Every structure is written in structure tokens, then in C-alpha cells.
Chain A
Amino acid sequence: MSILSILSQKPWTSDQAKIDDKHSGKSSSMPLPRIGLYVLMTVIGVLFTLFSVAYIGRMAYGDWRILPEPPLLWFNSLIIIMSSFAFHKATISSKENNHKRTREYLFLAGALTLGFITGQLFVWRELVSFGYFVSTNPSYAFFYLLTALHILHLLGGLIAWLLVIFKSFTLEDESSNFSLNVNLCAIYWHFLLVVWLVLFAMLLLT
């Protein structure tokens, strides 16, 4: 039901009461953890959007210096795409109840994520070795800040990933919740992939 039709209901009339009495009390049939994740991703999305707005706003000033683009960033992007893909495969296997295969993909996804984070840290080292410190120019400051924030969100995701891995070892068969958990991890990783790609595009466009 659309928000407008909900807001135009007249709950005090007896006609509406007949309809309302049958209402289950839920606004959506989605499982709770999934809604929780969507709300969380919305908040994180707002956070990154605001940083991006500040970033774009700051670019307009004359003293903005163009950020060097270490080629390693392209490689890192490829790795995070692969980790997202591995999560996708893990979701598919978990829906087929193939727990062994799911676990393998989960390990692969986690390893790739750690690879991405390490790669980002190498990018930082490279920039520092060229003398691009966080306080040198706002464009570098934004680069460090945004990448750090993105890494923090990945680390948060890795906590969930650890829990899911742990669950995959203790799981009895026929557990539908496990498949949901893997799926939620995958959604979160896809989301962070999109965030990264937007950030990367923004960095390239400076």
C-alpha cells in the first residue's frame, strides 16, 4: 500500500475499521534482519553522500590540487569486485544448501576483502612516500578520510562475516536463517562495492 493511501485512511469510520481489523500489524513481509540492514545501509548512504557533497563543494576552490591516481587503485577495485562476486556465489550455494561450497566462497570473499584493505593501505604508503600527507592539501585529506571510512565499514562487515563463518561450522542442516545471513552479507558487500566505485569515480574525476 502506498504511503499516500495509508495517510488518507480515516481510522475512525466503521468502513475503515472493517478493513483495519484484519490488518496483521506488519508493514512489510520482509524478515526483520533484512529491514534492519536496509535501514542501516540508508544511514551509511546518507553519511557517504554528505562526505561526497563536502568533497565536491571543496573542489570548487582555487587551491585544489589534483590527486595522483596510483594504478594500484584499479587493481584494488578489481579485488573488491571479485569479493562481491564471491559473496554472490556464496548466496547461491547457500540457497542450494551446499554448505561446504558456501563456506569456501565465504572464505574466498573474506580473503579478497582483506586483500582489498591491504591494497588500500599500500596505496596510502605509496602516497606518503611521495610526500602527499594528510595535511598537505584538502584533496589528499579527503582521500585518506574517505578511504579510511570505507575500510572501517568493511571491517564492520567482516565482523558479521566472522559470525556467519562461525555459524557455518555449527549449523544443522535445513537452517533457512543461514542462507538469509549469507545473503545479507552479500547485500552489504554489494552496497560497499557501489560506495567504493562512486568514491573512486569521484577521485578520478578531480
Chain B
Amino acid sequence: MSESIIPESELEEVELYHPKSWWTEKVFSQDAKLIAIQYGLTAFAIGFVALVLSWFMRIQIAFPEMAIISEGTYYQFITMHGMIMVVYLLTALFLGAFGNYMIPLMVGARDMVFPYLNMISYWTYLIAVLVLFVSFFTPGGPTGAGWTLYPPQAILGGTPGQETGIILMLVSLCIFIVGFTMGGLNYVITILQARTRGMTLMRMPLTIWGIFTATVLALFAFPALFVSAVMMLFDKLLMTSFFMPALVEFGENLTYGGGSPILFQHLFWFFGHPEVYIVALPAFGIVSDLISIHARKNIFGFRMMVWAIVGIGALSFIVWAHHMYVSGMNPYFGFFFATTTLIIAVPTALKVYNWILTLWKGNIHLTIPMLFCLGFIVTFLNGGLTGLFLGNVIVDVPLSDTYFVVAHFHMVMGIAPVLVILGAIYHWYPLITGKMMHDGMGRFHFWVTFVGSYLIYFPMHYLGFIGVPRRYYEMGQTEALYTSSAADLNVFITIAALAVGFAQLVFVFNVFWSAKNGEVAEKNPWKATSLEWRTPEQPPIHGNFGKELPVVYRWAYDYSVPGAEDDFIPQDVPNEKVTLAEGYSELGVEKT
């Protein structure tokens, strides 16, 4: 076989920024990897606050006679829990943390294309988080308008936090969106323009496809939230009436008049529904890679997986009004959105089939990342199927605003993506820290989180069916609806929730403990093919790759290739350099 010429790198080397002081190296760093860690730690910190809020709410629901928090506080906690988890934790983690860490490494770049902008993006995000957090300590406290912030009640008297909480929430969202746009520009352009030689779009791992499509969605969807936040700020501060109809409060006519609360709902959900996929698509991508790696098999139907990601992304913009079936909209309108909602289930189901077919006859290693992936598949399937219920107008109307909805969205966009995030952290922890996470603690964490989540959310479906409404501080004298068995079930759910919460503390402990005491990770411990594991140092240093950028010769899924001695061929290894297994003259060709 002739020695093929390895093409020289044609990419002009980008001048890398080199920090000049401790501050610019460790704090105001322009290195995407450090920015990723900053994003991750900030998101986890504020996410932990949201988790603790949920404990208080659960204790209140299970033991209303204790009155651990007041009615107003309950609404404030519900609002902050929802908004923090969806925007400040999940979006920031998937795009800010995983996006920043993985994009340059996986496409073979030294850093993001606009490192300075990338740094500003993080600090803007931090300001957004702080502005939100400060609202806990302002007079009146944070807003209690529910995470959807529906007007008119969000800015009217009687809603907790209508003094300053709502203003800080809207300002914080605007800052977040500005910061995200800066990061988003980086992610998209780095993926399009800074890939290494040989890395075509279709050779990129699905993780990058997921993050890329989600970022594009976010760049289109977040402006809708920005628009609604700005207009509501005008309504609150300048007494305009964009969203405010004529109102009578305590027998007094307010100056508002003629605004449309439904307009807000349209704008909010035009952002809100793509937001689900902004969180889900990176999770889909990451889970595809993790399954392929830990089952030692190429991903089943790679092209279809890419098409599904792109297709879901496009469809996600024409389903938003399925969140508004009870807003009194035209039934034909509802019919249209029910149809598109059911259509989006097709590419989504396709992905689930492909994950299962990847596992089929794979060499499945039940590592912790794989456990989380398996947990994700069933959880996402469960949450997705209840989505089909709620996507139909006639089923949604009676179930709307019950615990069934709470169970649905926690399964599909709470637990499912979080399982992927956790799996991904166990998977990439050796890359980021050079150490392995403690296996025993990890397995304990997985089983308690996975089983516990089901103990929390399965009974909630039942509560929803019998009609228990969401967002109620206590059920009072409503025995006909809220039977004693439902009350017992709520106690059970609360105990499960606290147990799952405890398991997360074990995880946090494991993260810090293993960074110091963990077993030193061997190079590329999971034997993966993608470029992030091909850096000369592990963890990768500033500039990621050595003197030369890697050159890519194959897609990211060459696992168990017939004829190769190892069961994986990294992306930057040409065919000629693959060690052949005994009895083979070429990859895939047996000696005769």
C-alpha cells in the first residue's frame, strides 16, 4: 500500500491571545475552556439556589399545616425556581459551559474566533445572575408572577415582588440575552469557520451539531423574550399599555387600557417553545456521542440524526401556541398548532429509535455515563409521550394547569437534560481535570437520581389526572378533589425529592473530592475517537493542540471497525496508520 501524503495544514494559524497577568489568566480569561468552567460553576451555583427553593416548596406542599413558607414566598420560590432552572442553569450550562469547552476542542480549533467577546459574554451572564439574585433581598422580594410572567398580574398589586422583583427579573433577562448573543455569535462562527483541515460539517460529532443548531435557535428565539421583557418594562415603569388591558383595582380605574395580554403570551412562547429545544438539542447530540462511545458502535443512522436535529430546530418555531390552548384562541388556530406539535414527534421519535438501534448488539459498557444515557432515553420517552397527550387540544384543556403538566415538563426538559448533563460531566471530567470521578459515589448518585426522579414525577401524573391544580400553596377544604390519598402521595413525593436532593450533594462532593483525590485518568480513558481527547496534554492547555493542528481523516464514529486492532479509530488517524488486526490486509478486507 502506498504511503499517502498527509496534507499540510492550509489553515493560517490564528494568533492566540496570551494573558499577561494572573488576572487575565485566571479571572478575566479569554480561554474558552476557563470561560466554560466559569459558566458551569456560576450556573451550578444559581441552579443550587433553585434546587433549595424546590425543597421548601415540596415541604410546604406535603405538610401545609407546618406553613414553612408564606403564600407569597411560595409563589416567589416557584417563579425563581422555574426561571433559574430553564434559563440561567440549563441554557447557560449547555451552551455557555459545554459549548465553550467542547466546540473548539471537537472541531480542532485553538480557541473561539472572538475570544474577547467570549469573555465579555461570561461576565455579562454573571451580571444577569447577580441582578436576579439581588431581587431576593429587595423590598417585596423577587417576583412571584410564575416563570411565564404573564401580564397583567405580573406587574399589578397583589402579586408578590411587583415592587422591584419583577423589574429586576426583566432587566436580568435582557442582560442575559445580550450576553448570550455575544456567546452565540462565537459558537456559530467558530463552528462554521474555525474547523481544522478535513473537518467537514458532516464529520463533526453530533454534540457539535446539537450545540450549533441550538445556538441558531437561541439567536432567533431570545429576541422574542427580549421584546416582551422590554415592552413589559415600559408597561411597568412608563405606564404604557402594550400588554395591559383596562383594569379596575380595588374599585379604582387604573390608567392602563387597550393592551393585549395575549400578545405577551405569543411573544413569550415564540421564545419559550424553541427554548425547550435549545436545551434538548445539545442533550440529544451529547447523548448520541456518549451512547456510541460507551457501546463501542457507530451511531445508527448518522445522517438521519443530523436531519432530525435540523428538522426539530426548524419545526420548533411553529408549535408555540400549543402552550396557549386555554387562552381562548380560535379553534382552527389550535388545530394548526396541534398538528405541527404531532409532526415534531416524528423526528424526535426517530432519534429515540436510532439510540436504541445503536445499543442493539453493541458492546455496552455500563459505565456511569452510559447509565445516565440509558436513564435519559427512558425518561425522555416518558416525557415525550405525555407531550403527545398535551399537544392535543381536547386532552390539554382538562389537564391544563394540573400536576400532569408539571410532571410532563419536568420529565422531558428537567430530568432528561439534567441526566445528560450529569452523564456528560462524568464522561468529560477526566478531560477537564485529568482525574477520574469516584465510581462508587457516581453509581450511588445515578441510582438515587434516576429512581428518585421517577418516584417524584410518576405520581404527579396521577395527581394531575384527578385534577390537583399546580401552583397552589395549599389545597384547603377541597376533599372532593384533594383526597387523603393525594395528600399522602404528596408526602411521598416530598420525601423522594429530598432524597434526590441529597444525592446531588453527594455529586457536588464527588466533583470536588475527585479533583483532589481522584485516580489519575489515563489518556483518553473511554477510548473515544473525537478530537477533544487527542490533545498532547490532558487536560488540554491554552491553545488546545500542540504545534500543529490535527488533520481529520474520518467521521467521529469509527468504533469496532472490522480489520482494525483497536475498537476505535480516532478522527485524526489516516487509514494507513491504523494498526490492522490479525488476518486483515486492509480495513474491512480479510487476507485471502
- Cβ contacts under 8 Å, A36 to chain B: 113-114, 185, 189
| Bound CA span A86–B10, Å | 39
User: Which of B29-37, B257-265, B532-540 forms contacts with chain A?
Assistant: B257-265
Asked whether any CB of chain B lies closer than 8 Å to the CB of A202, the reply is no
- Cβ contacts under 8 Å, B7 to chain A: 21-22
**Out of B202, B240, B263, which one reaches A6, CB within 8 Å?**
B202
When the two chains form their complex, are residues A47 and B227 in contact, meaning their CB atoms are under 8 A apart? Answer: yes
Asked whether A25 and B11 contact (CB < 8 A) given A32-B193, A54-B242, the answer is: yes
When the two chains form their complex, are residues A20 and B259 in contact, meaning their CB atoms are under 8 A apart? Answer: no
Per-residue interface assignment for chain B, residues 177 to 209, with 1 indicating a CB less than 8 Å from any chain A CB and 0 otherwise: 000010011001100111111111111000000
- Cβ contacts under 8 Å, A141 to chain B: 234, 238, 240-242
When the two chains form their complex, are residues A23 and B113 in contact, meaning their CB atoms are under 8 A apart? Answer: no
Which one of B107, B188, B192, B263 has the greatest number of beta carbons of chain A within 10 Å?
A: B192
**Out of A27, A46, A61, which one reaches B192, CB within 8 Å?**
A27
**Out of A11, A24, A27, A145, which one reaches B197, CB within 8 Å?**
A24
| Bound CA span A145–B257, Å | 18
Tell me the smallest distance from the CB of B190 to a CB of chain A, in Å: 10
Tell me the smallest distance from the CB of A67 to a CB of chain B, in Å: 14
**Out of B188, B226, B239, B307, which one reaches A39, CB within 8 Å?**
B188
Tell me the smallest distance from the CB of A140 to a CB of chain B, in Å: 8
Asked whether A11 and B114 contact (CB < 8 A) given A23-B197, A138-B242, the answer is: no
Per-residue interface assignment for chain B, residues 545 to 574, with 1 indicating a CB less than 8 Å from any chain A CB and 0 otherwise: 000000011110110000000000000000
When the two chains form their complex, are residues B227 and A51 in contact, meaning their CB atoms are under 8 A apart? Answer: yes
- Cβ contacts under 8 Å, B220 to chain A: 43, 46
Please provide the chain B residues from 265 to 319 with a CB less than 8 Å away from any CB of chain A in the complex.
267, 270, 298, 302-303, 306-307, 310
Tell me the smallest distance from the CB of B2 to a CB of chain A, in Å: 14
- Cβ contacts under 8 Å, B242 to chain A: 54, 58, 138, 141-142
Summed over the interface, the residue pairs from A and B with CB atoms below 8 Å come to a total of 142
When the two chains form their complex, are residues B553 and A17 in contact, meaning their CB atoms are under 8 A apart? Answer: yes
When the two chains form their complex, are residues A20 and B203 in contact, meaning their CB atoms are under 8 A apart? Answer: yes
Tell me the smallest distance from the CB of B203 to a CB of chain A, in Å: 5
| Bound CA span A38–B342, Å | 34
Asked whether any CB of chain A lies closer than 8 Å to the CB of B543, the reply is no
9 nearest A-B residue pairs (beta carbon): A25-B195, A141-B240, A11-B555, A135-B239, A47-B223, A27-B192, A11-B202, A9-B202, A63-B258
Q: Which residues in B have some Cβ–Cβ distance to A below 8 Å?
A: 7, 10-11, 107-108, 113-114, 181, 184-185, 188-189, 192-203, 219-220, 223-224, 226-227, 230-231, 234, 238-242, 255, 257-260, 263, 267, 270, 298, 302-303, 306-307, 310, 552-555, 557-558
Q: Which residues in A have some Cβ–Cβ distance to B below 8 Å?
A: 6-12, 17, 20-28, 32, 35-36, 39-40, 42-43, 46-47, 50-51, 54, 57-58, 61, 63, 134-135, 137-138, 141-142, 145, 149
